[in-house]
Amino acid sequence: MSTVTMTLTPDQARAIAGMLEVAVRVHLCQFGEIEWMARMGILKHQTGRSLASDEWDMIKYLSGRMSGVFGFSPNASFGIGSPQVYIDAQRGYEVKKVLDKALAEWREPNPKGIRGVDYDGLIVRYTPDPVPAVEVKE
């Protein structure tokens, strides 16, 4: 079996995990993610400014319409395990879960209190692929 090894900084790995999150959500028809990204200032207007609330409302409306094109009500979507979901989305999800866990444990190896979902790792498998492996080294 062939494997691929990448060397990244933690910031680069975090960015990849974020991009996987967006890609997986689009595959699940969770178009509201675009509105959230605009509200958080991640997506900007062509001029570089953050969007205004009326523009967020337009994105919310349009993302709801996009969901309708795929047969969903505005806040409904596929689940990651749905048979209609493209396997690359499931692969991306599995990689993201492993990546999130490795970064969380590197950032805070012994969290106090409630641990976030990033510490869960890959609990449920959706592909027949080998389990992705991520290791953070100093």
- In this predicted structure, what is the pLDDT of residue 45? 96
pLDDT digits (tens, 9 = 90+) for 107-125: 999 998 889 999 999 999 9
The model's pLDDT over 6-18, given as tens digits with 9 standing for 90+, comes to 999 999 999 999 9
CA atoms within 13 A on the CB side of 12: 5
pLDDT at 1 over 90: no
- Cα 109 to Cα 42: distance, rounded to the nearest angstrom: 28
85 pLDDT more than 90: yes
Pair 29, 70: CB distance under 8 Å: yes
The pLDDT assigned to 104 comes to 96
The number of residues making up the chain comes to 138
Q: pLDDT digits over 19-74, tens only?
A: 999 999 999 999 999 999 999 999 999 999 999 999 999 999 999 999 999 999 98
Confidence grade of residue 78 (pLDDT, cut at 50, 70, 90) = very high
